[in-house]
């Protein structure tokens, strides 16, 4: 698996069958971390938000809109740093002024 930015996983063809992204990150999903803790302390929430913002900014700088942001698509490594996964709904080649009209995402988070 190649990494293009510290907070973004570049998924490889066949990865889902051969080696799921969740198997590579000892911290599991952010969703499971939230389930265990019930609520994040402000410092923890700010840390995750900062890393997510950096990862999204990186994608945007390359003309990519990440359209399925949810705790289940954010993995944590053994040090607690985030990795965005599941790029199936991403829109590519989007630059300043471009508009999309697709309605997509996970219904529970819309």
Catalytic residue positions?
Answer: 68
Q: Give the whole-angstrom CA distance, residue 99 versus residue 101.
A: 7
Phi-psi category of residue 6: left, alpha or beta, with phi > 0 → left and psi -120 to 50 → alpha: alpha
Point out which residues pair with 74 in neighbouring strands: 84
């Amino acid at each position: 698996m190649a990494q293009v930015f510290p907070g973004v996983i570049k998924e490889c063809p066949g990865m889902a069958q051969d080696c799921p992204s969740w198997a590579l990150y000892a911290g599991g999903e952010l969703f499971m971390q939230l389930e265990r803790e019930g609520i994040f302390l402000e410092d923890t929430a700010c840390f995750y938000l900062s890393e997510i913002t950096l990862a999204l900014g990186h994608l945007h700088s390359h003309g990519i809109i990440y359209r399925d942001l949810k705790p289940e698509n954010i993995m944590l490594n053994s040090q607690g740093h985030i990795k965005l996964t599941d790029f199936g709904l991403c829109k590519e080649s989007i630059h300043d002024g471009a508009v999309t009209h697709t309605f997509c995402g996970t219904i529970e988070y819309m």
